[in-house]
Each structure stands twice: as structure tokens, then as C-alpha cells.
Structure 1
Amino acid sequence: MSLVLTLILIVAVIIAGLVWFAGNTARKVEAAVPPRGQFMDIDGQRLHYTDSKGTGPVLVMIHGLGGTMWNYHYALVEKLTGEFRVITVDRPGSGYSVRPDDAPATLSAQAATLAKFIKALGVSRPLLVGHSLGGALSLSIALNHPDCAGALALIAPLTHAQDDVPEVFKGLVIASALVRKIIGWTLAIPMSIRRGPEMLKIVFGPDPVPADYPLRGGGYLSLRPKSFYNTSSDLIAVNDDLPEMMTRYGSLSIPVGMLFARQDRILDFQRQGEAMKAKLPALDLVATDGHGHMLPLTVPDQAADLIRRTAARQQVPSVASA
């Protein structure tokens, strides 16, 4: 056998091993963290969600980049279920929600899907709770589907376009969908396992990373090829709509509250929080010190207080459907 054929064989075996490892890891992850809710099909997509069916104002909780509904169920949902009907949803392509690979990942496309989801539930103008990228998505729903948003409670939200990607997410900046998929099925999973602990320290810091976050907080679900592909797609598409959205923030007339940590290492408080306050003076902006980006998990009491205060400002509360 020639040297060239030997090298080709070695490369093929390595690639096959990486693909097997990625698939096997995904199966183990899904066995450890199975779906916790129910499913709804909308426009060729399948959304995974939970619904407490409680009475009171309706909350629809939307998570951030690379996250899942487990980010809310970790500590925040239990503080709200006695007062609200709490609906959590895996964003299109995240967690156990399925998005076709060729479906757009823009904020406007995801907002349209979630607006149809809200209407299908028979919910009228709920209070949207959005963390990080989920904050930008909540804003897109409020701007483009006003009948699906009665108020916004934004937690460490992305509100303004930015050219610089946080260091921890730079490995997701892959313009080609084909390359994105190849990396997802080869290098992404072993690299995520190796670098995961250090990345989580940045995402959570200066708060400590909860020891049970991978399981109870759904962190393990990121160790799947489809999660890598869709998270990269979300990041690549995020600035497609934000610049235009920024010009309309002043038109929002619904109650908007925001909780932001000054020491956030992912999104800058001044560029995302204070900049939003400048465009929307009625914004109820609450800044906290000594914490990082993952506020729904690390300061659930403060997050719950923001949600309650925003709900109190909502002129027409959303009540659970019969």
C-alpha cells in the first residue's frame, strides 16, 4: 500500500471515529437529560415546551444562545408557578426543538415561529421573559408581533448589534453551513468537552458554576452535533435584524423591565443595558453587582422580583385560557 493510500486510510479512520464519538455522546446526553415537556409542530418545525397551566398572568420564557428551557427550570420557574401560568420553550433548533438545517435562524424568523406558537396556545399578550439572545428575540416579537407581547422582562439581554463576538463564542463563527455541519460531527464535541469547564467559568463568572449545571441546568445538551450547528447558525444570523430593530425601540409602549449585572463577561452592561435605557426612557433598568451573565440560575430571586414588578405594570394582565 502506498504512503498516500495509508494516509487517506488513517484520516478516514480518524474521521469515522470522531463521527461515532459525536453520535454516541449525543445518545448518552439525551438519555441523561430527556425531554421534560410536550411538542407542537409549526411550519415544519417542532417546538418543545412546558406549560404549568396555572392561573394568573401568563409568562412565556425564552432562553439564550446555546441554552435550553432548563436554564429557567433550574431555579426560577419554581419561584413563579404559584403566581403565574409559566410557559417555557426551547427556541427553534435549541434543546429538543427541531429546526430544519435550511430554515432561517434570524431573529425575525424565530420571532414569527414563536408568535404562531403563542397564538396556538390561545394566549393573549403574555409577558415575555427573555435571557441573553432570548431578550433580543423577545424584543423582535414585541416589535413585529405586538399582539403576542403584553410586557417584557429582559434578563442580561442582547439589545444592540455588536461586531466583536465574545471570546468564548468565537469558535462558533463559521459562515459556511457545510463547514458548520462537518465541524459539528467531528471536532466540536471533543473540543467542547475539553474546553467546557473553562468556558462555563467565563459565562457564569464572577459567579461560580453550579456543580449540577450540566445535568440539572441542561448543559449536557450542548454536546450534540445539531446543538453546535444551530447555535453557530443563531450567532451568524443575529446581526441581520438587530440594526433595524434598534431604530424602533423608542416606539415600544408596553412595560419593559431589565435586570443586568455590571460584571457580565458576555454582554456589556453599558452597550446593552444603558444603551437601551437611552432609547427607551421608560425602561425599568435594575443593575446588580458581583454577578455575571447567567442570572436566571444565579440570582433567581432578583429575576423573579423583576418579573413580578413588570407584570404589575402591565395594564391588561394575561390570564390562563380555560
Structure 2
Amino acid sequence: MKRTGKGLIGGAVLAAMSGIGLSLYSSRVARKAEELVPAEGRFLDVAGARLHYLDVGSGPTIVMVHGLGGQLRNFSYALVDQLKDEYRVIVVDRPGSGYSVATGATTPGIIAQGAIIADFIQKLGLDRPLFVGHSLGGAIGLAVGLDHPHLVRALALIAPLTQPLEQVPESFRGLARIPSGARLAFAQVLGTPLSRLTAKKTLEGVFAPEAVPEDFVTRGGGALSARPIAIAAAAADLAGANDDVKAMVGRYAEIGVPTRILFGRQDAILDPAWNGHRTAAVVPGAKIDTIEGGHMIPITAPEACARFVRAAFAAA
């Protein structure tokens, strides 16, 4: 009995020390990521969040919102440079991503993030910008189009999430396993170390069939996604996505702002037929284009995405 008790105590001490060690490792990873990819924009307090954003160029305004596990450098990597000589381009970190934080009592879902971006547009005094959303950011664009249509000129959705996920993409299944009651604690102890081990495979899946750019970790901001706070936020985004998307799908016929959709035909994350053509068929007047490429076309095909954005603005 005594030996058993000592063994249990020893095991508990070892587990606690291992947890502390992993937590310290995660904190070091987060600090290093922020050194590699520092905040480069401004901050604005809005209802429910403190948002970090980059504002460049001049002319008619475009607001860009990134997808799951990303941040504004997914756009500033290449697409912003394609547009900033013609437009005022504002790229923003979603709450919990990059350097933006949610300030409410709960983690905001897609519809709530739509309201946050709507307040962001109003606080900046923007005159009906074109809304560009990639992946999960596309779902947020649809939420803005449904609930705040007077604030945007049109929607230009790149590889958007528009329909309920029938299954979680393989690259994001690790996020789906994070327990809802302790996301940040789990991410601090296990999420960041595990993400470091699986980062190469995860990025290859997200970019497939195209290669991951060698400088994506820094220039594309990928390093920030390994921080515990980013992992916890992405897990929350994923967990709540279907509920909000299901609530929006039945309302797509109400969307009154011009809507265009662009997909890479080889997208391995979101099916173009399910999330693109199916949605374009029910949104009034919506048009869909497809190009060669995968899910990360804002990075891998910036020229084609820029043409798509220009066309969306012209049509509006």
C-alpha cells in the first residue's frame, strides 16, 4: 500500500513537471513567433474585440478577412501588393488570430464575428467597402451580407466556407479533438508542442496540391498559428462553425449585395461544388469562377485573385 501510494505521488509529480515543462516550451514558441512576425499595423477597439489591422494604398476601399488559423499576412504576403496602387486595402486579424483579441465573455462565432467586422467598418468610417473573405472569412462575409448589407458594396469570396462541413478536413482534425471546456489550457500544454510536430504535414495539406512557400512561416505569418492563443481560437472557430453556417444557409436567398465566388479547382480543404456552385445557385445574382489551384490561392495565385477582386468591384 505504501509503495503504491508513493508510486501514485511520484507519477503525479512527474506528470505535473512534464506539464509545466511543456507549458514553458509553448510560451517560448509563442515569444519566438512574435519576434519573427511582429505586429505591423494599428489597433482599434470595437464591440467585442480589439482588432489589429493594416491599412495601405488609396482609392475605393477593400476590407479583407482571413480564414481558419490564419491572420492578415495571408493577404499581405502577395495579394495586397497587387491591389494597393488602385485601392485602399485594409486587412484585419480576426478575433483570436494574429494580434487581435476577443474582449467579450464568450468566443465569438461566425455571426458574431460578422457583427464585429461590421462595427470595425463603422468605427473606421468606411464608405461601403468591398468585402473580401477567404475560407472562414468568406462565411463571415456572408454573415455581414445577411445582417449588415448596408455597410458593404459587394462580397468577393475566395475559397469560402458556405455550407455545413460534412466532415472536418484532415488538416484540421487535431483542432477538432481539443476539449471545449479547456481549450487554452490544452493548447498551452499539448496543442503547441503537437502542432510543431505536425506543422509540415498540416501546411502541405492546406496548400495541396501546390507547394508551401519556403517563407510562409515569416512572410505569410504562419509562425503565429502555433501559439496557444491562436490554437485555442482556431479550435473554437471550428467547433462553432457548423451551427452558425446552418443558421445562415436558409437565408442565402435574402442576400441583396452583389456576390462573386472564386475557387481553386483542386481545393483539398473545401469542396468547390459544395461550397461554391451550390451556394452561387441560391444567392441572387451570384457568380462563380474557378481557376487552377488549391485552397491557399490568395498566396499561390495572387494575380488571378487580384483580377477576381477587380472584377467584383467593377460589377458592384
Query: Which of 201, 205, 221 is 2:208 aligned to?
Result: 205
Alignment of 1:90-101 (within 5 A): 90-100=93-103
Kindly provide the CA deviation profile for residues 139-190 of structure 1, in whole angstroms up to 9, marking residues without a partner as x.
1011101122110111000111123111111111247433322220111111
Kindly provide the CA deviation profile for residues 225-277 of structure 1, in whole angstroms up to 9, marking residues without a partner as x.
10011000111111222122112222223221111012100000110011012
2:44 corresponds in structure 1 to 40
Amino acid aligned to 1:34: P
Kindly provide the CA deviation profile for residues 38-81 of structure 1, in whole angstroms up to 9, marking residues without a partner as x.
001123521000111x3321100000000000000000000100
2:145 corresponds in structure 1 to 142
Query: Which of 167, 170, 175 is 1:172 aligned to?
Result: 175
TM-score, reference length from structure 2: 0.95
1:24 corresponds in structure 2 to 28
| Secondary structure at 1:239 match in 2 | helix
Q: Matched residues in 1 for 2:137 and 2:39: separation?
A: 20
Query: Which of 288, 296, 311 is 2:298 aligned to?
Result: 296
Q: Matched residues in 1 for 2:247 and 2:21: separation?
A: 45
| Secondary structure at 2:236 match in 1 | helix
Query: Which of 290, 310, 313 is 1:311 aligned to?
Result: 313
Preserved CA contact (<8 Å) 1:47 1:89: yes
Q: Matched residues in 2 for 1:62 and 1:230: separation?
A: 15
1:267 corresponds in structure 2 to 270
| Secondary structure at 2:289 match in 1 | strand
Q: Matched residues in 2 for 1:253 and 1:136: separation?
A: 16
Q: CA deviation at 1:197?
A: 0.5
Alignment of 1:183-194 (within 5 A): 183-194=186-197
Preserved CA contact (<8 Å) 2:179 2:186: no
Moved more, 250-259 or 196-205: 250-259
Query: Which of 123, 126, 148 is 1:123 aligned to?
Result: 126
Q: Indicate how the Cα distance of structure 1 residues 55 and 101 shifts in structure 2: closer, same or farther if over 3 A, else same.
A: closer
Amino acid aligned to 1:30: E
| Secondary structure at 2:189 match in 1 | coil
2:283 corresponds in structure 1 to 280
The alignment status of 1:56 with 2:59, answered yes or no, reads: yes
Preserved CA contact (<8 Å) 1:135 1:158: yes
| Secondary structure at 1:178 match in 2 | helix
Amino acid aligned to 2:278: A
User: Which runs of at least 4 in structure 1 moved beyond 6 Å after TM superposition?
Assistant: none
Q: Matched residues in 1 for 2:76 and 2:55: separation?
A: 12
Alignment of 1:207-286 (within 5 A): 207-280=210-283, 282-286=285-289
Q: Indicate how the Cα distance of structure 1 residues 210 and 218 shifts in structure 2: closer, same or farther if over 3 A, else same.
A: same
Q: Matched residues in 2 for 1:101 and 1:214: separation?
A: 30
1:10 corresponds in structure 2 to 14
Query: Which of 60, 83, 86 is 1:83 aligned to?
Result: 86
2:162 corresponds in structure 1 to 159
1:72 corresponds in structure 2 to 75
Q: CA deviation at 1:101?
A: 7.5
Amino acid aligned to 1:293: H
Preserved CA contact (<8 Å) 2:55 2:88: yes
Amino acid aligned to 2:313: A
Q: Matched residues in 2 for 1:114 and 1:89: separation?
A: 9
